[in-house]
Amino acid sequence: MTTFKLLVDSKHAKVFADLGSAARVDGPRLTRYVWEADEIAPDIRGRILRVTEGGHTAFYLPVREWKAAFFDMDSTVIAQESIVELAKAAGKENEVALITEQAMAGLLDFTSALRERVRMLSGLPDSVIAAVSKRLTINSGMTELGAFAKQKGIKLYLVSGGFNALASGIARTLGFEGFIANELDSENGVLTGNLRGTIINAESKALFLKETCARLNIHLNDTLTIGDGANDLLMMQASGAAIGYFPKKVLLPHLHGAIFHDHRDLIHVL
């Protein structure tokens, strides 16, 4: 038998009343259920999906000793889409934001969309990267979640389709064990509109998860993934549990649920 914990927006808690005793957490806002079963019933996953499709928090985790957590960066760990912030300096904010939204919703091929957006940055001084890094903000509760996870011995990794120059600072600020992201090309202090090396797309994210776990001798079932867009799907499917953070609808059927409030919500089921 496995012990499961489910957290749900209290306004929708009655959907899960048959699971047994409930406890309020974070004041009256959230309700937590704990129960034992051989496996999670498809009907419960269906109920979680219906709640999250309405934009309300609901997710579950099996109780186990989690070893590592892998986070997307843009709009998950940080509040912004970093490439949109860079595009502001080029006067291309609206164009890049539209392509980004479509790519994250799974409507465009990520790699092609990334190359198209990076081309719009051509000619910018690379000093704009440092300026943008100062504007990036950590999403609510992420600092607390990271500290709590590290206290429990969970290793933290940042897995980003954004850029090394920005991801490195975020990973360092939050005390993550490591990160992976794309490398912007520049010559003589000017962005060329190209990328160097391997593109960090959906396949690369999943590979980073698997290779990191192999290196650390961590079973994939003992990993958590947290993300919001289509580019996170393969990584999330490879992990032991996948939680969306304000996720695009394309992700919802594949998740253990979603958070639509604050990263600290995850603390209540770890």
- Active-site residue numbers? 72, 74
Q: Are strands 178-187 and 190-196 parallel, antiparallel or unpaired?
A: antiparallel
Sign of CA dihedral 43, 45, 46, 52: positive
Contact between 229 and 21 (Cβ < 8 Å): no
Sign of CA dihedral 41, 205, 152, 149: negative
Q: DSSP for 58-106?
A: EEEEE-S---EEEE-TBTTTBSS-HHHHHHHHTT-HHHHHHHHHHHHTT
The CA distance from 140 to 194, in Å, is: 33
